[in-house]
Chains A and B, each alone.
Chain A
Amino acid sequence: MLDFVQQLVSGIALGCVYGLIALGFVLIYKATEVVNFAQGDLMMMGGFFGFTFIAMLGFNYWLGFACAVLAMALFGMLAERVVVRPILGYPQFSIIMVTIGLGYFLRSMAGIIWGTDDLKIDTPFSTGVLRLGSLVLAYDKLSVIAATVILCTLLYLFFNRTTLGTAMRASSENMLAAYYMGIPVKRVVSIVWAISAAVAGTAGVLLAPITFVHSNVGLVLGLKAFPAAVLGGFGSIPGALVGGVLIGVIESMAGFYLPQGWKDVAPYVVLLAVLLLKPEGLFGLHVRKKV
């Protein structure tokens, strides 16, 4: 039973990271119908920015964290403006290739700038453990879960309670109508990229004490986050998080209870099963237009 709870907690923590990356996929997809395959690499960049501010420049952890997230937001806007906007309106395939290319570019640049060694960020919670009776939970994992919950609450409030957030949902539902309403759609899209890069960056910094910072970390996690987004129903924000947590828990359980090798396959088996039974994903939305 204890093992089960511990596996569950570390699965949820891992799943939160998948969920945050998947959230970035979904935000950008909903707003612009672009699938950003560089999302995992944006997360990796967040880790390196965190490393730069905290380990290299010696900032306090929380200040460095905030700086890294802010830098990622600006970086996301820049990527949208320079790489994606010029190619909007061309076939979907070109856009996908561009984001894949962006991912390669970011991985190589990170290798050139920060080297290819595993880097470590010291955090206030990288060592401690929480003891509840005989249950032992590591703070670094709990911190990921806590941060995800806080971040998602903030995003929920932003999207549902503020005019700008509502305008973002409106633009993603019907971009043409958003133009008719006088919503500056291009600025909205660039803010969406900023938010989704910032969310990915947050995941990158949170993950740093668990997996270390490495230029390929985004590729591996991005490949896991993609099924998480599909599982939740591509285009649903809560779906992305639930999908992420599910994949994380399944992976962690399979690693513990099943023979070796199942760990990496199990999430995809579940994904296939879900898609066979419910092709629109767990939280997929279907709407018919009235004429």
Chain B
Amino acid sequence: MSESDIILKISNIESYYGPIMAIRGISLEVPRGKIVTLLGANGAGKTTVLKTISGILDPQKGSIEFMGKSIQRMEADKIVRMGLSHVPEGREVFPFLTVRENLMMGAYPRKDRDAVGEDLNMVYGYFPRLKERLNQPAGQLSGGEQQMLAIGRALMNRPAMLLLDEPSLGLSPILVKEIFTIIKRVNEEQGTSILLVEQNAKVALETAHYGYVLEIGRIVMNDTCERLMNSHDIQEFYLGAKEAGARGERRWKKKKTWR
């Protein structure tokens, strides 16, 4: 892969919450126009990686390059202006603003009013349910609708790249499927590169092209999603496959290959 095909390149970043080292030297790359997923259990540091990229946290060490420019330690609002939008964990909509106002806040950095109007229609196209609720306060929407709003709001920035943090959180299986279908469509139709953080490994591996596995602040595995899905460890520890041993019993104490 040549350098210009990489939209986001993270090298050796370390981030701390106070004295606690949350990520311990992570490097990853997102190719332009592709979906990359970051898998890991609770507390692995997935959200921290995204927060460090979008400038909410500053990394202690390492570098982050977005579209060839170094963005570590930049103010969060400047990074958004460069076309890197973050859909945070737990939706974080503006509860008393209407759906339309929420969407317009997504377009806050933009000055091209006509194109914003077009993008509003694009978002309604992806999420017709939002159009029905335009003048309702966002706090009254259901969880799934709020997630749609959070994604739609980020799309209003017409980002070159999206960071998605746990879009499946708290949603029913049907809604999860619906949201991920739309994520895939956005990637294919708008060419938006996506870095997807998920606990639901199955749906993430089905959606993404390439995957990284994060454990306690370190990357322990990375490969294409097809190969990850066939990997023994991933199947057992992230997809919950139960494999019968030689004597027909489940082996419980198996070590992961990376330990």
Chain A's interface: helix, strand, loop or mixed, by majority?
Answer: helix
**A263 CB contacts on chain B under 8 angstroms:** none
Residue of A nearest to B137 (CB): A287
Stretch of B30-38, B99-107, B125-133 contacting A (4+ beta carbons < 8 Å) = B99-107
Contacts of B88 in A (CB 8 A): 176-177, 180
Q: Is the CB of A260 closer than 8 A to any CB of chain B? A: no
Q: Does B108 lie within 8 Å of A173, measured CB to CB? A: no
Q: Mark B166-195, 1 if CB is under 8 A from A, else 0.
A: 000110000000000000000000000000
| Docked-complex contact A180 and B96, CB < 8 angstroms | no
**B146, CB-defined interface residue at 8 Å:** yes
Is there contact, CB below 8 Å, between B92 and A183? Answer: no
B226 beta carbon closer than 8 Å to chain A: no
Write out the residue numbers on chain B whose beta carbons fall within 8 Å of the beta carbon of A154: none
Q: Are A184 and B77 in contact (CB under 8 A)?
A: yes
Contact with B77, one of A163, A174, A185, A291 (Cβ below 8 angstroms): A185
B143 & A291 in contact (Cβ 8 Å cutoff): yes
The chain A residue sitting closest to B79, CB to CB, is A182
Q: When chains A and B are docked, how far (Å) is the Cα of A183 from the Cα of B153?
A: 13
139-172 of chain B: CB within 8 A of chain A: 139, 142-143, 146, 153-154, 157, 169-170
User: Do A173 and B94 have beta carbons less than 8 Å apart?
Assistant: yes
Number of interface residues of A (CB under 8 A): 22
- CB contacts (< 8 Å) of A179 on chain B: these are 55-56, 76-77
Q: Which chain A residue shows the least CB distance to B106?
A: A181
When the two chains form their complex, are residues B143 and A166 in contact, meaning their CB atoms are under 8 A apart? no
- CB <8 Å contact, A285 and B96: yes
Task: Decide yes or no: A182 and B108 within 8 Å by CB, A166-B101, A176-B88 being known contacts.
Answer: yes
CB distance A177 to B139 under 8 Å? no
Measured CB to CB, the residues of A under 8 A from B are 163, 166-167, 169-170, 173-174, 176-185, 285, 287, 289-291
**Which 7 residue pairs are nearest across A and B when measured between Cβ atoms?**
A182-B80, A177-B92, A182-B109, A179-B76, A173-B94, A182-B77, A170-B94
- Which chain B residues have a beta carbon within 8 Å of chain A's beta carbons? 54-56, 75-77, 79-81, 85-88, 90-97, 101-102, 104-106, 108-109, 139, 142-143, 146, 153-154, 157, 169-170
